Structure 1
């Protein structure tokens, strides 16, 4: 039977073939490098399993692990290495392990390196595979002893495999000499794996394609995880690659007074930032737009960093917003996220899938403070948010972000300034009046149309959000201590239960 191999060899790792623009070019030698624990063996097993699934013969040559260790590693991921995958455990000949038979006039490395190469070629001739993995180059580098002999050995392997038509993946654990880039200049492509250890939380892994001759690939760093079943890569999101046509209609919040403040509502395909101190109701404002979207017959998604879902369900239910029922009905996708266990790339992928698979037209991210905890580098955080907002907006969906400011009244600061990224900015504030603490809302920015320049008081109670008429006759409401400057008073009357926090 003749197998049509095509020009590209899919690597079989979710997301990595996208980064590589279709996989590995056949009949070439590639380098997969990374320190121990970065997932090189797992990726190489997925590479061979992908070939075996298409009827290709595959060969795994191991110089550092035993066959039992490889099979146990595969079994831990639920991988079954069938007859199409041959594991060749390369061990030194017994004569090299016997001190009585070792040569004294020649360097032992001269014999060991030549014998190792000979065994590799013999194993290949027996199997005649289409895909080959050699694990690892550190053993060959140590046997070569010098950079010149090591380079010649790699060139010999490259020429041999190139003539045979095999696609080869060389593994390097970077334990012998991390500064030696000999292989980089010889191989067709280089994939570099990294593992980072934050001050708190789980390790973070990322990869980068350093080199790929004659091929356009997705550059930069891409987060990835190792889970049961193998490695999953989250390609860096580029919003310019994703654009859909949609009608920019105006969407209601479901509250006439809030729509009036927003100049009629929110434009479809735009982003809204809800900013204010803790307890002002940022989450509730966002959930109000989610509820309005679901009542229009659309689906929505909520990503919660800062609150336990059970408590969130209980609090919103007491205000007439049953998020749990919305989720159970299939109209709401809601997920609680742990910033200590989540990389930015994985989060962006989850948001993206909520839009593509769940068809969410409203996405609430609560909050950017939690997102920042998962992305401690602030400059990179801004770029991440920019790409994510652009992507969601270009799908005709609306994004709502909450940001908690430091402080309660007066001069407050945000942990990160993202106001210039959002199309609409809604500002929430506390202010003092006649011995009570009240809340005020205003719209300070809207790119997609006109909006009121007034400040309205609002209340949170058992009936949800209620907005009053624009405050008039006051000065200094946003500073927290207003001063009555004229006779009119338009503040909302106090009522029992109006002080519920959200």
Structure 2
């Protein structure tokens, strides 16, 4: 038997992100297994694989033992895929006449004859077409026909040896409905890609994949999130910050507020991350947007990812304070999007951030807030790992990242839903405190890896014209606990309070 003309290079799957995980695609002239429960996306990925071959001018064969040709074509059309003449669909399903009781010794009713005839038909169709790419859907049907693990393994080996004599790249699909614990095929094929579909307590389903095996080839291990959307499958390779480096000048960036810059020791160093932490309503988002406004004034672009607030409300309230986010967005200076944690996987979110940094050239990234981001995580430990990789990646791209965390409670002893303070290069603490019968706000920098900073506490106010910071509060103790005490003989500094009195 002679095979089709040799095609060089790897057989790309055509799935966004999957080829990256597979180091370029599938090694040609080998047999691979794509397994997963029904609904996990096997057929869609297989269609991508064949249509990629079609676009490259390769002959392709889809052998279906479970779905009809019409179902496959309808599935492809739902994603905007057009199956052309280069893709032959061989429908190996029983004709209606074989359901007649008089035909019980035909293709369907004698297991010995069924399996042999099925394999023979597959071989004949392959030799007739001599394709470069083959998909067999699915092995569960062959497993049922074999009626035993030994006979099933012999059939899989027969398929492998048959295709090994050709130049075809073969993708076997297995829906794992017959015996999910049967790993017979794993030991035979050249590589295995496992698909999973998870159902969280709330929100849409989550899908992920993992390469279990790939002989003679390095691949990106671990789980990788993916989605099925209009247009097909998109895979989000797990982010590894160590693979992404870029050169940039580590300059100090000012905020535009002199007192704030003094508190920060001159400003924020480029390529660093900043955590804004405090109870609800202290202005964490507004401080983060102050950095965005400063970046835009420097001629840079920014990306803002909002988990908690409706964009219309955000545009309205920031416009009143002199920050017109909507106009910045219309002018292409910032990218801002509202995210639904119930519909978003962590891998997809990381990919969106990467796209804005790489494609939009965003040098300032705001994530508001970690509380909403945590809802997209499978657990706190995973959140820490995701955040570590994402922040390291952004730092290495020379981007400044600002993340907010809302603490539980308003005054006194407060707790954070997750401790990420050690991940950030700079930590800014916001607090409420009571003074002379009024609720005030205080700000302090409690950590800065990249240089000096003030160890003082300053009062600040949120006015119509924006943020205003006062001088360090030197005559009080216990401000961060919420109820300060006047100490010593010195005059406490409450410039903002005195200013309010003079204006009233």
TM-score by length of 1: 0.97
- Which of 97, 116, 129 pairs up with 1:114? 116
Distance 1:96 1:376 in 2: 49
Deviation at 1:126, TM superposition (A): 1.3
Deviation at 1:395, TM superposition (A): 0.4
- Which of 362, 365, 375 pairs up with 2:364? 362
Preserved contact between residue 462 and residue 497 of structure 1 (Cα < 8 Å): no
Preserved contact between residue 6 and residue 167 of structure 2 (Cα < 8 Å): no
- Which of 155, 158, 175 pairs up with 1:156? 158
Deviation at 1:7, TM superposition (A): 3.0
Preserved contact between residue 303 and residue 336 of structure 1 (Cα < 8 Å): yes
Preserved contact between residue 5 and residue 167 of structure 2 (Cα < 8 Å): no
Distance 2:359 2:276 in 1: 26
Preserved contact between residue 96 and residue 112 of structure 1 (Cα < 8 Å): no
Secondary structure of 2:131's aligned partner: coil
Preserved contact between residue 460 and residue 496 of structure 2 (Cα < 8 Å): no
Distance 1:231 1:430 in 2: 47
Secondary structure of 2:375's aligned partner: helix
- Which of 220, 242, 245 pairs up with 2:244? 242
Deviation at 1:496, TM superposition (A): 6.8
Deviation at 1:91, TM superposition (A): 2.2
The answer as to 2:484 corresponding to 1:492 is no
**Cα deviations across residues 406-465 of structure 1 (Å, max 9, x unaligned)?**
000110000000000000000000000000000000000000000000000000011100
**Cα deviations across residues 323-377 of structure 1 (Å, max 9, x unaligned)?**
1111111110101000010000000000001100000000000000000011141
Deviation at 1:125, TM superposition (A): 1.1
Secondary structure of 2:194's aligned partner: strand
For residues 103-142 of structure 1, the aligned pairs below 5 Å read 103=105, 108-142=110-144
The answer as to 2:420 corresponding to 1:418 is yes
Deviation at 1:93, TM superposition (A): 6.6
Partner of 2:102: 100
Aligned CA distance change for structure 1 residues 98 and 493 (closer, same or farther; 3 Å): closer
Aligned CA distance change for structure 1 residues 165 and 467 (closer, same or farther; 3 Å): same
How many residue pairs match? The answer is 496
Partner of 2:278: 276
For residues 234-313 of structure 1, the aligned pairs below 5 Å read 234-313=236-315
Deviation at 1:187, TM superposition (A): 0.3
- Which of 346, 349, 363 pairs up with 1:347? 349
**Cα deviations across residues 240-270 of structure 1 (Å, max 9, x unaligned)?**
0000011100000111100000001000000
Secondary structure of 1:490's aligned partner: coil
Structure 1 spans left out of the alignment, 5+ residues: none
RMSD over aligned CA atoms reads: 1.7
Partner of 2:176: 174
Secondary structure of 1:164's aligned partner: coil
TM-score by length of 2: 0.96
- Which of 437, 440, 443 pairs up with 1:438? 440
Distance 2:481 2:127 in 1: 80
Deviation at 1:492, TM superposition (A): 2.9
Partner of 2:316: 314
Deviation at 1:497, TM superposition (A): 12
Preserved contact between residue 271 and residue 389 of structure 1 (Cα < 8 Å): yes
